[in-house]
């Protein structure tokens, strides 16, 4: 019987970690992710988990400790945000290149400068080519559910996984949600049986050897293949999780999308706000919908194209800018996903919410009004707009 509780996103992620009971957690605190490991550390102190908790002196060291621990065959987790993720940068590539199934709770926060502690997706998007699977959560319930699924995904695909929530909006916002029992979580994730361990003296291995021009490409090709073939595993694990919890998980999820003429595409907490706006628009007879991207890496290009192909106009909502004079990361990747279609919808990009700038219903209503105009005119006057910034 599911237990109904009120929890913040950070509490929900820490609770998932308690139920997962990883062998090792190595972390360094950073707002707004601090609470995840702070709460978890009290579980360690209270003897509620068997975890070896490593207080590292920086995020670079935390990820290094995670790599050593995972290479030893331990189920390993961590949490960070923003500058912390940026400081892990070098080690993120090593974790994925060594094919270590580390799971991270990443709480989306803007990157300096200027210093800012609030939500945007610059940190996670900056790490989008690190070879980690990236899963965005709309609310605390999804953050909890995604953490549990991430263990299975990481250990199946042998790639590290980051599960993200939106800093403060989800991490510190209280919601009602459902928890599985400890036994249900334990049964779902099962026992981790690593293929190799550097501590196995009977079967000595070398981890992290150098590759020259003769082997580097082959090892990278293997890693690319793991990401290329991850989607069926993520879907399968999602299905199994739905049987356990009653909550289904796909790569992308539409809301009022099938008969929609105009739609927005977004990640994370904005989805909930947009759904309320859609309900209002539908009452007025406006065929508005949305597509939520849950899994950003691997990028579900085919699924996105299939979900969006029938629309007249689409707004891609990016909570970060690539600062490349070409729009946000979600925008450029979705444009590429739509290119193989013979008839393509009109697509515009909105950069919004940088440094925690609020994304309210009024702003989303404005986006749908723009989409109606674009659909009616069958043309785009301005492909990239900045939503909610003062001129």
Partner 1 sequence: MKILGWKELPIGGLILEGGTAAQYITGGWRTMRPVIDTAKCINCLTCWCYCPDSSIKVENEKITGFDLDHCKGCGICAKECPPKVQAIKMVAESEVRG
- Told to check if 191 binds partner 1 by CB under 8 A, we report no
- Told to check if 100 binds partner 1 by CB under 8 A, we report yes
Sign of CA dihedral 38, 41, 46, 48: positive
- Told to check if 239 binds partner 1 by CB under 8 A, we report no
- Please report how close the Cβ of residue 96 comes to partner 1 at its closest, in angstroms: 9
- Told to check if 204 binds partner 1 by CB under 8 A, we report yes
- Please report how close the Cβ of residue 88 comes to partner 1 at its closest, in angstroms: 19
- Told to check if 228 binds partner 1 by CB under 8 A, we report no
Q: Which of 50, 206, 213, 243 binds partner 1 (CB under 8 A)?
A: 206
Q: Which stretch binds partner 1 (CB under 8 A): 169-177, 186-194, 216-224, 233-241?
A: 216-224
Q: Which residues of 119-145 are buried (b: 16+ CB within 10 A; e: fewer)?
A: bbbbbbbbbbebbbbbbbbbbbbbbbb
Is residue 37 a contact partner of residue 25, using CB atoms and an 8 Å limit?
yes
- Told to check if 196 binds partner 1 by CB under 8 A, we report yes
Residue nearer to partner 1 on the CB measure, 98 or 244: 98
Binding-residue pattern over the window 258 to 287 for partner 1, x denoting contact by CB under 8 A? ------------------------------
Residue nearer to partner 1 on the CB measure, 176 or 222: 222
- Report in angstroms the alpha-carbon separations of 312 from 128, 265, 320: 29, 14, 25
Is residue 161 a contact partner of residue 154, using CB atoms and an 8 Å limit?
yes
Please calculate the CA angle 286-309-285 and round it to the nearest 5 degrees.
10
Q: Which residues of 210-239 are buried (b: 16+ CB within 10 A; e: fewer)?
A: eeeeeeeeeeeeebeebbeebbeebbebbe
**Alpha-carbon gap, residue 130 to 45, rounded angstroms:** 33
- Please report how close the Cβ of residue 205 comes to partner 1 at its closest, in angstroms: 5
- Told to check if 208 binds partner 1 by CB under 8 A, we report yes
Is residue 77 a contact partner of residue 101, using CB atoms and an 8 Å limit?
no
Is residue 338 a contact partner of residue 347, using CB atoms and an 8 Å limit?
yes
- Told to check if 219 binds partner 1 by CB under 8 A, we report yes
Kindly determine how many residues on this chain lie close enough to bind partner 1 according to the rule CB under 8 A: 24
Ramachandran area for residue 239 (φ above 0: left; ψ -120 to 50: alpha; else beta):
alpha
Q: At what angle do helices 182-189 and 140-157 cross, to 10 degrees?
A: 30
- Told to check if 99 binds partner 1 by CB under 8 A, we report yes
Query: Scanning residues 142 to 161, which ones bind partner 1 (CB under 8 A)?
Result: 158
- Please report how close the Cβ of residue 203 comes to partner 1 at its closest, in angstroms: 7
Residue nearer to partner 1 on the CB measure, 225 or 236: 225
Q: Which of 207, 227, 231, 235 binds partner 1 (CB under 8 A)?
A: 207
Residues at the contact surface with partner 1, assessed by CB under 8 A = 97-100, 158, 196, 203-209, 211, 214-215, 217-219, 221-223, 225-226
């Amino acid at each position: 019987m599911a237990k109904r509780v009120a929890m913040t996103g950070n509490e929900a992620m820490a609770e998932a970690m308690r139920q997962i009971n990883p062998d090792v957690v190595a972390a360094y605190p950073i707002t707004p992710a601090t609470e995840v490991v702070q709460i978890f550390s009290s579980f360690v102190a209270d003897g509620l988990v068997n975890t070896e908790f490593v207080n590292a002196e920086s995020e670079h060291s935390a990820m290094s400790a995670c790599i050593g621990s995972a290479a030893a065959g331990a189920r390993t987790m961590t949490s960070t945000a923003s500058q912390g993720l940026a400081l892990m940068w070098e080690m993120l590539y090593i974790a994925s290149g060594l094919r270590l199934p580390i799971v991270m709770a990443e709480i989306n926060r803007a990157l300096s400068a200027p210093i800012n502690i609030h939500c945007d997706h610059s940190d996670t998007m900056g790490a989008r080519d690190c070879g980690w699977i990236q899963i965005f959560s709309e609310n605390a319930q999804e953050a909890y559910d995604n953490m549990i699924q991430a263990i299975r995904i990481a250990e199946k695909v042998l790639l590290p996984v980051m599960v993200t929530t939106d800093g403060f909006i989800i991490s510190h916002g209280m919601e009602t949600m459902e928890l599985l029992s400890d036994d249900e979580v334990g049964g779902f994730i099962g026992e981790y049986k690593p293929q190799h361990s550097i501590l196995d003296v009977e079967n000595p291995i070398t981890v992290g050897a150098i590759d020259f021009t003769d082997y580097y490409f082959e090892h990278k090709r293997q890693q690319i293949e793991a990401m290329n073939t991850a989607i069926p595993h993520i879907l399968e694990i999602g299905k199994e999780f739905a049987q356990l919890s009653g909550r289904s998980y796909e790569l992308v999820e539409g809301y009022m999308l099938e008969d929609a003429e105009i739609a927005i595409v977004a990640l994370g907490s904005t989805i909930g706000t947009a759904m309320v706006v859609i309900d209002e628009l539908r009452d007025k007879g406006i065929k508005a919908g949305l597509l939520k991207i849950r899994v950003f890496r691997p990028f579900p290009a085919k699924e996105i194209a299939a979900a969006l192909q029938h629309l007249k106009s689409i707004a891609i909502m990016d909570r970060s800018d690539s600062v490349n004079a070409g729009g946000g990361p979600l925008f450029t990747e979705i444009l590429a996903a739509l290119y193989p279609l013979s008839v393509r919808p009109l697509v515009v990009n909105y950069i919004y919410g940088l440094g925690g700038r609020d994304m309210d219903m009024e702003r989303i209503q404005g986006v749908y009004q723009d989409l109606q105009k674009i659909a009616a005119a069958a043309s785009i006057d301005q492909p990239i707009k900045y939503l909610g910034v003062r001129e």
